[in-house]
Amino acid sequence: MSKRIINISDSIEIGNLGVMHLKRYWQKCQLKKDGSLASDAFPEEWNIDITLLSALGLGLEQTLKEIYNTLKDFNDFENWVLSINDGELPKEKIEQFNRYIHNRENGIVEGEIEKFLDESDISFWNEYGYLIIRNVISGQDCEDTINAICDFIDIERDDPSTWYNDHPARQGIMVQLFQHPALEKNRLSAKIRKAYEQLWSRKDLWVNTDRVGFNPPETSSWKFPGPKMHWDVSLAMPIPFGLQGILYLADTASNQGVFTLVPGFHNKIESWLGSLPPSVNPRNEDIYALGTKPIEAKAGDFIIWHQALPHGSSPNSSELPRFVQYINYAPLDAEVNEVWI
């Protein structure tokens, strides 16, 4: 039996929207959907795929859900992309992305990198692998974002009886809300960007379009579903430099379902992995025994961490829910391990 020949458009091919790589991305998703392409195929294009969605203001889960369940063809896909952007694509972002695809090199972003973080911040970062950046957005912006989340999933912030309502956009403690003026304003916080630029030591960074989180208190009928301690990166050595970030939208105490991590593990992970028997899956180990730390912080504070740190959320035993927004910046050519462990 002859193998099926799989033809995928080149990244420079465009459709009606004039966006490079979009047709290729659509075709890859369709081939994965019908089993003609492995789910982990083209790992070297992961950052290109994610940056494409970032340039178009699309969330990853949001886009895959539409592609897999709703959209019939590429024309439908382009029309959906346009509708998400209220009929007008961000011209400057698309032009910048297309230049990268055409030339396969990032354009130079002019200007010196501001020393936003001081020496004590950098020393703490080097030792512990995370930072809390205080007051990156205003109290009013926090309130506006919380109101947007509550409106979206149809809950009342001050009425616990509504906190556990079913809603199709709720996936555990994650909320599939991606497009809203309040969210976009937070993503463009100058303080957040400056911190990322300094840690990356480069200015050509793209902000992702990620979701938000709502973690209500546990009850007799609702228990914390996770995510528990984990990594979002391959554990193949060496783990490339990469960052992740979470914005607290309300004051969050240590028992309020806070973000939790293992401080300094980016400096220990290689030796820890080397100490495990070859047959052991490190992701199944008791990560909590490594020394987890709950990170309490105030409304408007941003936590940024090295992707080699195990991290996760935690059960909420307080009387108040946790509201957060996930925000990350990365260069288009950030290194990604092609082998997943």
Q: What is the gyration radius of the CA atoms in the chain, in angstroms? A: 21
Q: 306 and 21 in contact (C-beta within 8 Å)? A: no
Minimal CA–CA distance to 116: which of 186, 201, 240? 201
Name the percent of the chain lying above pLDDT 90. Answer: 87
Domain 119-331 sits in CATH at 2.60.120.620
Over residues 205-251, the pLDDT tens digits come to: 999 999 999 999 999 999 999 999 999 999 999 999 999 999 999 99
Over residues 36-77, the pLDDT tens digits come to: 998 888 988 999 999 999 999 999 999 999 999 999 999 999
Predicted pLDDT of residue 287:
95
Predicted pLDDT of residue 1:
38
Residue 82 makes CB contacts below 8 A (sequence gap 6+) with 17, 88, 89
For residue 182, the Cα-to-chain-centroid distance in whole angstroms is: 17
CATH 2.60.120.620 domain span(s) along the chain: 119-331
Any idea of the CA torsion for 133, 125, 241, 285, to the nearest 10 degrees? Answer: -100
Looking up tokens 């003609």, which residue turns up? 36
Q: Is this structure's pTM higher than 0.75?
A: yes
Q: 19 and 94 in contact (C-beta within 8 Å)? A: yes
